[in-house]
Structure 1
Amino acid sequence: MKVLPAHEYLNQHSIPYEIKTFSSETEKGAANVAAALGFRERQMIKTLIFETGEGEQLLVMVGADQHIKSGKLKKAAGSRNIKMASPEKVLEVTGYRIGSIPPFCWQPEGFRTIIEASLLDEDILGVGAGEWGNEILITPEQLVKASKAVPYDIVQPAE
């Protein structure tokens, strides 16, 4: 089994996790990963990079079936002006291409990470390992610890 930087990071910090793999032919998207691995969409995490008007980048984690509510994210970020980072900016900031960005192992000190608070109610979550076809299964508590994420209510209410 290939050991990726995200695995090394978790091993170094004694954070328990499980490795799952799926076909690299799987169409991109957390919902497709959930289907490939037999999980609910909510359990597979979208790792998104946003930029504030002040020039700060943020990592934001939500379930594959969740949609961020702009006003809630602005409040959580403390910025009135926030937008998704371009694919080029994401690669520059994280070192990873959109599609399998691990939510830990690459952030400089002080980099802010936000996780949708309702995800803490799940038994297990899946996050990208940095290479398409590789997923890390981890408990919400361990994900918060690994990513130094702060929980906020940032999604639109379920219909």
Structure 2
Amino acid sequence: MSRISLEDFGEVIRLAEPVRTVKEAARAVGVEEGKIVKTLVVKCGGEFKAYIIRGTKKLDLKKLGCSMATPQEVLNMTGYPVGGVPPVLNIPVYIDIDLLKDEYVYGGGGDDYSLLKFQPRVLVERGVAKPVEL
């Protein structure tokens, strides 16, 4: 699976310590937890999709008619481990419209030691993510 260059979409921040939770990520870069986003990979029927939501929010899987992808499915479909999945992928990506009001946020940077600081609206402007109300 070919990867998209994350540097084309924001600043990759390398960390000395691993971050595995929203709280750890917020502490690592000195921002409130609401500035951290998570990219969740789900399976809807036979199709995989990713949803970018604020780290403090829960994704309503029942409303979407989807289930969470397993860690192995996430790795197979994206090339990234759960927890490090960036917002720029080779599968359909949807972004919570609420995030478009933020100048920038921090999301997965590819692994537990990286975060990507990016502008949500840029993902939409460049056709990488489709805005949806979640």
Report TM bin, short chain.
0.7 to 0.9
| Counterparts of residues 70-109 of structure 1 (less than 5 Å) | 70-72=61-63, 74=64, 81-104=65-88, 106-107=89-90
Paired residues in the alignment total 132
TM-score, length-scaled by structure 1: 0.73
SS of the residue 1:35 aligns to: helix
1:18 to 3, 7, 11: 11
The structure with more strand, counted as a fraction of residues? 2
Residue of structure 2 in register with 1:68 after alignment: 59
Distance (Å, rounded) in 1 between the aligned partners of 2:109 and 2:129 = 17
Q: Report the residue type matching 1:64 in the other structure.
A: G
Distance (Å, rounded) in 1 between the aligned partners of 2:126 and 2:7 = 7
Instruction: Call closer, same or farther: CA 1:146–1:98 in 2, change over 3 Å.
Output: farther
Listed one character per residue, the Cα deviations across residues 104-150 of structure 1 (whole Å, up to 9, x for unaligned) are: 2x40xxx3211111011112111222122211211121233456211
**Which structure has the greater CA radius of gyration?**
1
Residue of structure 1 in register with 2:119 after alignment: 139
Q: Percent identity?
A: 25
Q: Which runs of at least 4 in structure 1 moved beyond 4 Å after TM superposition? A: none
Distance (Å, rounded) in 2 between the aligned partners of 1:147 and 1:45 = 19
Query: 1:30, CA displacement in angstroms?
Result: 2.6
SS of the residue 2:123 aligns to: helix
- Give the alignment's Cα RMSD to 1 decimal: 2.1
Structure 2, unpaired ranges of 5+ = none
